[in-house]
Amino acid sequence: MKAVIFLGPPGAGKGTQAKKLSEEKGLQHISTGDMLRAAVSEGSELGEKVAGIMERGELVSDDLMIEIIKERTAKPDCERGYILDGFPRTVPQAEAIKKLLSDVKSEIVYFSLAEEEIKNRLETRRKEENRADDELQTQLERLKVYQEKTAPLIDYYRKSGDLIEVSAEGSVEEVYQRLESALAS
């Protein structure tokens, strides 16, 4: 059993790399963003709760996200291991996952990317996929929220010596090669 945690700004390519790593290594890809978007499109109770928050580019509450992750990682398809893409995003979420993974071998990867390229990638995706939270105003809010709430996790993990830093510059394949060589087999 192994867990890989992906950290990084919106649009850095976490989801893209997680899909690839999941296919290559047989680890379950858990994207909190995808789970929440699915709930919104289904119109479930959870979807109704989070739709407005996501559209504004804000974060869903820690209590709710921690509950969602506890439930999801307890499912049988996670037995071999999983990639967390989009969780944790705050210090309380990081503390919760630390407890959950206390007996599990885990690796934490931070994808770094210059702000100009982040904006380019989000803009390309907005045109291709029309994701509501890729609208310019929401992009800016998401980047602000990332800096305030999630970027502090980089130092949080750096201090414990647990952070693997991977540059997200370059092609998808180039980033994947860097990721693969940075991870223990």
131 classed as catalytic = yes
Closest to ligand AP5 by CB, 76 vs 171, is 171
Question: By the criterion CB under 6 A, which residues form the site for ligand AP5?
Answer: 8, 10-16, 32-33, 36, 53-54, 57-60, 65, 86-87, 89, 93, 121, 124-125, 133, 142, 171-172, 175
89 classed as catalytic = yes
Per the residue annotation, which of 20, 37, 89, 126 is the catalytic one? Answer: 89
Which residue type is seen at 174? E
**CB of 69 vs ligand AP5, minimal distance in Å:** 8
80 classed as catalytic = no
72 classed as catalytic = no
Phi, psi of 71 (to 5 degrees): -65, -45
> E-strand spans in 65-162?
81-85, 105-112
Distance CA 157, CA 174 (A): 25
Which residue blocks in the chain are alpha helix, DSSP H? 14-25, 32-42, 45-56, 62-73, 91-100, 115-129, 136-145, 152-159, 172-182
**CB of 15 vs ligand AP5, minimal distance in Å:** 3
125 classed as catalytic = yes
- Residues serving a catalytic function are 14, 89, 125, 131, 142
